Structure 1
């Protein structure tokens, strides 16, 4: 199986409400020899307010992202699906991709009525090279150079790690440049830490990770928080009832007698404190796991001591059941915003067929298909797509309603705390940036402010009618 390395540049850092502006990917064979590459940019969505800071980082001007000759966001999403499907099955790899790029890609596909789970379905799986690099700094220190960041601590930012290890990263924060840097580092890490790389690839497949967690009485997992690697000795005690891809595991450094003495209320409280007795292992997020016997000593415990405690925990069914109950999380209230409903269940087979039909039609036909969706999320997103591309294909009342809703959304009118970037928020951010940016960045920011002023003028009348 080959690899697909990918990266996105976006209007901001919100994984639900910002959008991709540039997507790039490189397809390689299993030995990391390049087979093909793909890069595409698109226009700014009419209802998205870009972050001035994000545009200064990527050096994208407002004129560039409004260029009418660029493909629309929908057209770009369709091209991405076509290319990535042609390269599948593959292992999808990025730098911090599991926390950001993948979510942005999923949102783009979801909002454009494509199946969002492209990177982990139909034989595809994924891993995150930054996570692997962070874990390797604990498992095999000195493998590659990890440079200091602004505060003197180790930084795993791609634009710092790549040049520190010999890559000419003059195109940092360009999606294709970042993909090239990721491929370079992947080759380096594979050559310097072949065994660890092989294990990472093994657990890029959810089924392999779940099987390992189930079969191993105890294992060591390496996870990273705030850029620092931490290691935990765990044993499985149950399944996360809220997520079939997540396992509940017991931290073997915690004395179980301490927990047995607690009542149920106190147990819930104890699970929230450090050291957390129960941890969630996301089997579908390429966990970095190793056998306990690979460590002659782990935080003062021998492998035999860890295995003995694991056996003690697993054989205590009552304690395991109490811990699993105490670890349950309260269900969140569903969001009122369609973007935040991406993980709120799967649509049925009939709607999957309607999605395929939607893409096969012209915009007039798509407007008709939208009205047949059973899933309300797809209907709302579909109407928005039609509105942006062929508004006259919609009934006048629907067209007027969408136009008004999106304008008020950009202003933030009627929302107590909008989770997206409003025009006023972007303008305030732009003003703050001007006090510290260079001349090139200032030109970008001033142009963004002019765009914001025009959009304010366009949107305010819709608020006055309410």
Structure 2
């Protein structure tokens, strides 16, 4: 099957409202030998305001991301989708991909009218080398060197950890260089912690995760928070309501009798407080799991005692059902923004066919295809794509509405702080950074400020918004 290691450089850290500027990937065989590589950049989308800090980190200037010679974001995503589909099936991975890049990639596919689930469907699965490295630091401490950061604590930043383990990472925060660094770390883990590596590959398959949790009354979960690894002895109590891909498990170190004695109100409050008694395990997110039988003791408790506790809890189906009911996440109102509607239901089979037709058709035929979508999200995204590439194909009133929405997005119209970066946000950040930056950053920041000044909507356009 092999692997696809990938990385992105972006306009910021908001996985719903920022965009990919650079994408790089290397395909390897099962032994992590390189087979192929791919890299592409794109220009800034009209409705996106980049974070000045993000551009300074990645050393990308406004002149670069507004270069008309670069492909558009849509054109880039069509190439990325074609390449990744050609490399499938495989295991997709990278450094913090499940925590960050995967969300940007899904959004980019979705906003380009492609299926967002390419990396975990069609025989594909996912792991995250950062998560495996963090697990290795506690399970196989000698597998990799974990450097100490500026605050005197262990750091798993790739630009620190890769050099500490022998990788010459001179071009950190370039997507392709970061992919090469990630493969270097992955090879070290494979060689120095072969059992952990094999488990990670096996548990990339969500069916294997579910099978382990069904077979083992008690298991150990290893997770990291703020670069610190934590382990929990857990027992499965059921599935999250309405989400078969997320399992709920009770922490066996918690005083269960105390939980049983609580009223529903008291128990709900305790379940919401850290350390949380019930933990969520996403079966398709390659969790780090081990049977408790691999431990003689855990946290001062004999493995046999943990197993006995687990069996007693699982036998109390009424208590488990109560925990599941009171652990349910609240129903949040649907977002008004199309980006945040990505998980608001699957696209119909008919609309899937229309999406394929959209990509095959010339631009002149695409407005009619977009008008035939049954899903309002696809209509909004499709019209936005047409506005960016061929606005002349839209009726004048549609162009005016989209232009007004973009202007409103840029200035953050509405009450309260916008969920995305606005012109005012970026200006304030750039000015603040100018006060204490080096010469290279100063050039990037000056370019950002010039660009932002040019994008301020004219008074007549602002009148449309009011």
Q: Same fold (TM over 0.5)?
A: yes
The superposition leaves residues 70-92 of structure 1 with CA deviations (integer Å, 9 ceiling, x where unpaired) of 00000000000000000000000
SS of aligned partner of 2:185: helix
TM-fit CA distance, 1:263: 1.5
Query: Who is 2:36 aligned against?
Result: 36
| Stretch deviating more after TM superposition (38-47 or 262-271) | 262-271
The superposition leaves residues 426-451 of structure 1 with CA deviations (integer Å, 9 ceiling, x where unpaired) of 00000110112101101100110010
TM-fit CA distance, 1:142: 2.6
Contact 1:222 1:289 in 2 (8 A): yes
TM-fit CA distance, 1:273: 2.4
TM-fit CA distance, 1:318: 1.4
Residues 60/275 of structure 1: CA separation in 2 closer, same or farther (3 Å cut):
closer
SS of aligned partner of 2:301: coil
**CA distance in structure 1 between the aligned counterparts of 2:262 and 2:441, rounded to whole angstroms:** 57
Query: Who is 1:439 aligned against?
Result: 439
Contact 1:27 1:34 in 2 (8 A): yes
Query: Who is 1:135 aligned against?
Result: 135
**CA distance in structure 2 between the aligned counterparts of 1:106 and 1:185, rounded to whole angstroms:** 25
Contact 1:407 1:459 in 2 (8 A): no
SS of aligned partner of 1:245: strand
The runs of 5 or more residues in structure 2 that have no matched partner are none
TM-fit CA distance, 1:103: 0.4
Query: Who is 2:358 aligned against?
Result: 358
Query: Who is 2:340 aligned against?
Result: 340
Q: Which runs of 4+ in 1 moved over 3 A?
A: 458-461
User: Does residue 303 in structure 1 map to residue 303 in structure 2?
Assistant: yes
TM-fit CA distance, 1:149: 1.2
Query: Who is 1:454 aligned against?
Result: 454
**CA distance in structure 2 between the aligned counterparts of 1:319 and 1:449, rounded to whole angstroms:** 58
Query: Who is 2:215 aligned against?
Result: 215
User: Does residue 376 in structure 1 map to residue 396 in structure 2?
Assistant: no
Contact 1:413 1:463 in 2 (8 A): no
Contact 1:254 1:275 in 2 (8 A): no
Query: Who is 1:13 aligned against?
Result: 13
**CA distance in structure 2 between the aligned counterparts of 1:442 and 1:20, rounded to whole angstroms:** 23
Residues 356/144 of structure 1: CA separation in 2 closer, same or farther (3 Å cut):
same
SS of aligned partner of 1:176: helix
Contact 1:411 1:460 in 2 (8 A): no
**CA distance in structure 2 between the aligned counterparts of 1:381 and 1:93, rounded to whole angstroms:** 28
SS of aligned partner of 2:298: coil
TM-fit CA distance, 1:459: 4.8
Contact 2:143 2:188 in 1 (8 A): no
Contact 1:240 1:248 in 2 (8 A): yes
User: Does residue 230 in structure 1 map to residue 230 in structure 2?
Assistant: yes
Contact 1:51 1:421 in 2 (8 A): yes
The superposition leaves residues 300-331 of structure 1 with CA deviations (integer Å, 9 ceiling, x where unpaired) of 01110110000110111111111111111111
User: Does residue 107 in structure 1 map to residue 114 in structure 2?
Assistant: no
SS of aligned partner of 2:25: strand
User: Does residue 60 in structure 1 map to residue 46 in structure 2?
Assistant: no
Contact 2:134 2:156 in 1 (8 A): yes
TM-fit CA distance, 1:244: 1.6
Q: How does 1:274-293 map to 2 (within 5 A)?
A: 274-293=274-293
Residues 126/270 of structure 1: CA separation in 2 closer, same or farther (3 Å cut):
same
Query: Who is 1:178 aligned against?
Result: 178
SS of aligned partner of 1:374: coil
TM-fit CA distance, 1:275: 3.3
The superposition leaves residues 206-259 of structure 1 with CA deviations (integer Å, 9 ceiling, x where unpaired) of 111111111211100101111111000011111101422100111111122111
Contact 1:49 1:426 in 2 (8 A): yes
**CA distance in structure 2 between the aligned counterparts of 1:12 and 1:290, rounded to whole angstroms:** 36
| Stretch deviating more after TM superposition (411-420 or 166-175) | 411-420
Residues 93/459 of structure 1: CA separation in 2 closer, same or farther (3 Å cut):
farther
Give the TM-score of the pair, scaled to structure 1: 0.98
SS of aligned partner of 1:336: coil
- Alignment RMSD, CA only? 0.9
How many residue pairs align between the two structures?
465
The runs of 5 or more residues in structure 1 that have no matched partner are none
Query: Who is 1:427 aligned against?
Result: 427
**CA distance in structure 1 between the aligned counterparts of 2:149 and 2:375, rounded to whole angstroms:** 46
Contact 1:411 1:459 in 2 (8 A): no
The superposition leaves residues 163-208 of structure 1 with CA deviations (integer Å, 9 ceiling, x where unpaired) of 0100010110000000000111111110000000000011111111
**CA distance in structure 2 between the aligned counterparts of 1:51 and 1:321, rounded to whole angstroms:** 45
Query: Who is 1:411 aligned against?
Result: 411
Contact 1:408 1:459 in 2 (8 A): no
**CA distance in structure 2 between the aligned counterparts of 1:461 and 1:85, rounded to whole angstroms:** 46
**CA distance in structure 1 between the aligned counterparts of 2:230 and 2:427, rounded to whole angstroms:** 39
